[in-house]
Structure 1
Amino acid sequence: MSKHFKTAFIIFLSIFIIDQIVKFGFANFDWNVAGPIMSLELAYNYGVAFSMFSFLQEYLKYIQLAIVFGATMYLYKNPDVFKEYYISVALLFAGGLSNILDRFTYGAVVDYFYWHYGFEFAIFNIADVIINLGVAIILYKQFKQARKEKQKTENS
């Protein structure tokens, strides 16, 4: 097993377990706390981001599993991509699979962070934050690589 895969697996497992424990707590105990800026408030999201596609509620878990399977096959056939983005992959898979497990366990994604200071924002969870972090890392690496390539061509 490669060093990158081991690291990615540890990141994946740690985040996945923590996220599921927190979601279990919100779904089964009264962990709601009202705050002046952000509140902890249980909500179920039957769609995806901002409750989009909630009309596909029964099918979303299968659609998302198919996407994860496709991404896994892509990474298997392109190990250089995995090696370059293994941390982001671990983050995306941990957050994504945790939210998919919610759909099988609770019938919807368990959300609980509710930002309401200055403006109302969607309720979200740790997995959502982790997914966004994974995407941000990919974008950062892409911009950094593009800048390096641009400088290389300008210096040639």
Structure 2
Amino acid sequence: MTEPHERSENQLKQPLFWGRFSRFVLLVALAGLVLDQATKLWLVYGFGLADAGPVRLLPVLDIVLVWNRGISYGLFQQHSDLGRWLLAGLTMIVTVGLWIWSTRCQTRLVALCLALIIGGAFGNGIDRMAFGAVVDFVHFHAGSFSWYVFNLADVWIVAGVAGLLYDSFRNGPNSAAK
């Protein structure tokens, strides 16, 4: 068994900003970020979704343009520059925290999940800084039921969180935090 003072010394030896899976996390996060930003930029500027209006792809799926000035599910809508920059700053602070967590993760699954969340968070953070709102465009609906409008960054974030939850239950409590 490791003594508490020895454990602290081992933890101090761990690099703060680069770890075992950091290259993997960086590549996955960048791939997710590029895919997210490419779809948003193409829909807004290339396709002209604002002028084209909603596009029906399937009876239950439309492509629409929604400017989300809040966070997930449109909560905490911000209509001022102060709110916009506070949300952007909070996104960047949380993302740095997730990166530091990723430098200490022990499995490729946790690294993948954190990479997806990081890529998605950066994608939405870039939108908030560039446009003052997040570009959302995927709209599922059936009959009178309408799901919220989202983007690829949101998909990455939800998939990453779901993976972390799966990992925590698969290996017992708190395994994702190791």
Match status 1:12 vs 2:22: no
The answer for the alignment partner of 2:48 in structure 1 is: 30
User: Which segment drifts farther, 27-36 or 2-11?
Assistant: 27-36
Give per-residue Cα distances to partners, 1:38-68, cap 9 Å, x unaligned.
0011111111122111036532443343354
Deviation at residue 87 of structure 1 after TM alignment: 1.1
Please point out which of 49, 66, 75 is paired with 2:90.
Answer: 66
Paired residues of 2:139 and 2:147 also in contact (CA < 8 A): yes
Taking the aligned partners of 1:88 and 1:77, their CA distance within structure 2 comes to 11
Match of 1:137 in 2: 163
Task: Determine the C-alpha separation between the residues in 2 that align with 1:87 and 1:14.
Answer: 12
CA-to-aligned-CA distance 1:110-147 (integer Å, 9 cap, x gap): 01101111411111001101100000000000001217
Identical pairs, percent = 25
Aligned length: 147
Distance 1:73 1:105 in 2: 23
TM-score (ref. length: structure 2): 0.72
Q: Which has the higher strand share?
A: 2
Q: Which runs of 5+ in 2 are unaligned?
A: 1-17
Q: What RMSD over aligned residues (CA atoms) do the two structures have, in Å? A: 2.5
- 1:44 equivalent in alignment to 2:67: yes
- Asked whether 1:127 is paired with 2:153, we answer yes
What are the superposed Cα offsets for residues 70-117 of structure 1, whole Å, 9 maximum, x if unpaired?
55247537843x344211111111001100100111121001101111
Residue in structure 2 matched with residue 21 of structure 1 by the alignment: 38
SS at match of 2:135: strand
- Are the structure 2 counterparts of residues 27 and 77 from structure 1 closer, same or farther at C-alpha, using a change threshold of 3 Å? closer
Secondary structure of the residue that 1:55 maps to in structure 2? coil
Contact 1:46 1:57 in 2 (8 A): no
3-state SS, counterpart of residue 138 of structure 2: strand
Q: Is the 8 A contact 2:138 2:149 kept in 1?
A: yes
The answer on whether the counterparts of 1:61 and 1:100 sit within 8 Å (CA) in structure 2 is: no
Cα pair 1:114 1:123 within 8 Å, conserved? yes
TM-score (norm 1): 0.81
